Amino acid sequence: MKQNTIRTNSMKAWLLAARPKTLTGAAVPVMIGTALAYTDSTEIYSFNHVAAILCFLFAFVMQINANLINDFFDYMKGTDKNEERLGPRRACAQGWITTDAMKKAIITITVAACIIGLPLTLFGGYEMILIGIICIVFCFLYTTHMSYIGLGDILVVVFFGIIPVCITYYIQTRTCTLETFIMSIASGLVTDALLIVNNFRDRDTDRNAGKNTLVVRIGPENSLKAYLYIGLTAFFMGSVFLINGRYAAFAMPAIYLVMHIITYRKMKRIYKGKALNMCLADTARNIFIYGLCVSVGLMLQ
């Protein structure tokens, strides 16, 4: 897509900056936490649909905020150089969004996330305020610092796995089971595959920009192995469902595992260049398949 086809600060420009395709990654952990809570709901803590909707909305808004923050700060650091970039074009680097407008949007969406998240205190208690603050702080720290020192993958496991799955479950049940915690880690691992393939594609430009991602640190061959093994690990972590006789919730993600292995082989074959964007899209699809399979499997128990 050429720069001059997008009018500066237009609706189309903001839509591209928001990266709506990434919202599936935000939805999956909340989906899994919601499905677990729904199947575990009791007469004391019955499932609340309003709370579930708020969890989804908060996750979506925070994902958009993270995308804008990433766009802005990577541009300011010079990471998204147009002539070198292999991934999808970014709004600030392309001139689609001005830096002043992006700063105002980040402030506005951060405030919107606070407004959406505040009512969750009615369901999960005032500790939800602390959780919200942590999410917002690390939303900024990921792009500005953590991703540059190879800690981005840990943050993905925490903020796309442990926190959204466990907190979504806690809001509905006021507790957190071992089963939920294990599946929260599995959710984080599945989502981290997206970061690995993204950083695998950008390993050369990241290294040149001083961005020492995990892929840069461990090298391409070990990164390919990491991509494969986190998918395998996530699938087999689902064996925790067998303890409670949730056989479908364990078996159905086998569909995801097959798709994950196919994507791994494609990624290994392509190895480098813009063609890896196909693997990025495939991985995003796989994440959604995983969340859907786990959630439907739970409902079928």
225-259: per-residue pLDDT in tens? 999 999 999 999 999 999 989 999 999 999 999 99
Residue 7: exposed, middle, or buried by beta-carbon count in 10 A (0-12, 13-18, 19+)? exposed
Cα 189 to Cα 79, 210, 234, 237, 287, distances in angstroms: 25, 25, 6, 10, 10
Closest by alpha carbon to 75, among 137, 17, 136?
A: 17
Q: Mean pLDDT throughout 108-133?
A: 95
Q: What pLDDT digit, counting tens, does each position of 126-159 carry?
A: 999 999 999 999 999 988 888 888 899 999 999 9
Cα 60 to Cα 19, 65, 222, 255, distances in angstroms: 11, 9, 32, 26
Q: Which pLDDT value is given to residue 84? A: 61
Decide if pLDDT at 162 tops 60. Answer: yes
Residues 6 or more apart in contact with residue 245 via CB below 8 angstroms: 301
Using CA atoms, how far apart are residues 96 and 85, in angstroms rounded to an integer? Answer: 16
Q: Mean pLDDT throughout 195-208?
A: 91
Q: Which pLDDT value is given to residue 2? A: 43
Closest by alpha carbon to 58, among 118, 103, 137, 104?
A: 118
Secondary structure (DSSP) of 200-249? HHTHHHHHHTT---HHHHH-HHHHHHHHHHHHHHHHHHGGGGGGGT-HHH
Compute the mean pLDDT over every residue in the chain, rounded to the nearest whole number. 92
Q: Among residues of the chain, what percentage have pLDDT more than 70?
A: 95
Using CA atoms, how far apart are residues 202 and 207, in angstroms rounded to an integer? Answer: 8
Q: Which pLDDT value is given to residue 218? A: 95
Residue 209 CA from chain centroid, whole number = 24
Q: Mean pLDDT throughout 37-48?
A: 82
Helices and strands, number each (H, E), in the chain = 16, 0
Model confidence band, residue 45 (pLDDT cutoffs 50, 70, 90): confident
Decide if pLDDT at 274 tops 60. Answer: yes
Stronger pLDDT, 87 or 33, i.e. the higher one: 33
Name the maximum alpha-carbon separation found in the chain. Answer: 59
- Whether residue 288 contacts residue 28, with contact meaning beta carbons closer than 8 Å, is answered with yes
Q: What pLDDT digit, counting tens, does each position of 275-297 carry?
A: 999 999 999 999 999 999 999 99
Does the 3-299 domain belong in CATH 1.25.40?
Answer: no
Stronger pLDDT, 69 or 86, i.e. the higher one: 69
Decide if pLDDT at 26 tops 90. Answer: yes
234's tokens? 């996530």
Residue 176: exposed, middle, or buried by beta-carbon count in 10 A (0-12, 13-18, 19+)? middle
Positive or negative: CA dihedral 248, 33, 188, 276? positive
Q: What does residue 44 show for φ and ψ, rounded to 5 degrees?
A: -75, -45
Q: What does residue 219 show for φ and ψ, rounded to 5 degrees?
A: 90, 160
Stronger pLDDT, 113 or 87, i.e. the higher one: 113
Decide if pLDDT at 301 tops 80. Answer: no
